[in-house]
Amino acid sequence: MRAAQEAILASGTTSAGPGGLCGPCVELLPVTGAAISTLSGSINNETVCASDDVAFRIDELQFDLGEGPCWEAFASRRPVLVPDLRKGPLPPWPVFSTAVRETSAIALFAFPLYFGATGIGALDLYRTTAGPLDDEAMRDARILADTVAIEVMRRILATVAREEAEGAESPADAGSPTVMDPWQESPRNRREIHQATGMIMDQLDLTVGAAFARLRAHAFATGSTVAEVAHEIVTRRLRFPSDSH
């Protein structure tokens, strides 16, 4: 456990690799994969890291659909445990529960990430076999979630400090190289979604929430992900008709 915690807390001082924040969680816990996300409002959500494509897809589905275990864990501040997606009572996320069955995940476990009273996001774990986490795994997952929350908060604060420093730069400093975001490990981030939402806001004169709802509705109607639709908008291959609202 101590080694896993130290690896998590040291992950921000090295280049992001396949391990990062998620690696120690998968290595220590009896799970197949993990994803860590920040959750804030309707669109300011990011996948900080994902151990594999399935973990990333589970996160993406929850963001796109606005429901799922990560949202419930974050809101309730309690772990959400689904030991078997294909048996037992249907979880209270009907659309997500149907969509996630297209992945190889059988069991899902979400743990809230909080730093004191400040909500940060969620640690999502999945397994390709059914069954609950035993008491030892539950204890370890809670400890790792607390450690992850500390490290993600540290990275967020570092990002804010860096951006404030860049904003105070003199014109002579404007040509200095841009520093990569120190907490974003996943190359598959959602910045295009934020950009596309802003473009829809300008085009259709909508609020941010209404613009994102339009983006998500189009994705659902066309069987695409929100990220795919956002890319079409950002690259100017898709434009919503102005008379459709």
Torsion angle of C-alpha atoms 68, 73, 78, 81, degrees rounded to 10: 30
| Alpha-carbon gap, residue 42 to 201, rounded angstroms | 14
Residues 6+ apart with CB under 8 A from 135: none
Which residues have CB under 8 Å from 7's CB, separation 6+? Answer: 19, 23, 24
Residue with tokens 């860096």: 162
Write down the pTM of the prediction.
0.75
Residue 28 to residues 9, 87, 109, 144, 148, Cα–Cα distance (Å): 15, 27, 15, 9, 14
Q: Which amino acid is at 29?
A: L
The residue behind tokens 């500390």 is 150
- Identify whether the C-beta of residue 39 lies closer than 8 Å to the C-beta of residue 67: no
> What values do phi and psi take at 3, rounded to 5?
-65, -40
Question: Nearest-5° angle of CA 209, CA 213, CA 217?
Answer: 175
CA-wise closest residue to 182 among 151, 139, 203:
151
Let me know the angle formed at the C-alpha of 143 by 138 and 145, rounded to the nearest 5 degrees.
95
The edge-to-edge listing of strands for the beta sheet with 33-38 is 46-50, 33-38, 118-127, 107-115, 80-82
CB atoms within 10 A of CB 93: 21
Question: Which pLDDT tens digits describe the chain residue by residue (245 residues)?
Answer: 778 777 777 765 543 444 578 989 999 999 999 999 988 754 467 888 899 999 999 998 998 888 999 999 999 999 999 999 988 777 889 999 999 999 999 999 999 999 888 899 999 999 999 999 999 999 999 999 999 999 888 887 777 677 677 666 654 454 444 433 434 555 555 677 778 888 888 888 888 778 877 887 888 788 787 888 888 888 888 888 775 44
Q: Identify whether the C-beta of residue 201 lies closer than 8 Å to the C-beta of residue 214.
A: no
Q: Amino acid identity of 180?
A: M
User: Between β-strands 46-50 and 33-38, what pairing exists: parallel, antiparallel or unpaired?
Assistant: antiparallel
| Side-chain-side CA neighbours of residue 200 (13 Å) | 29
Mean model confidence pLDDT for the chain? 81
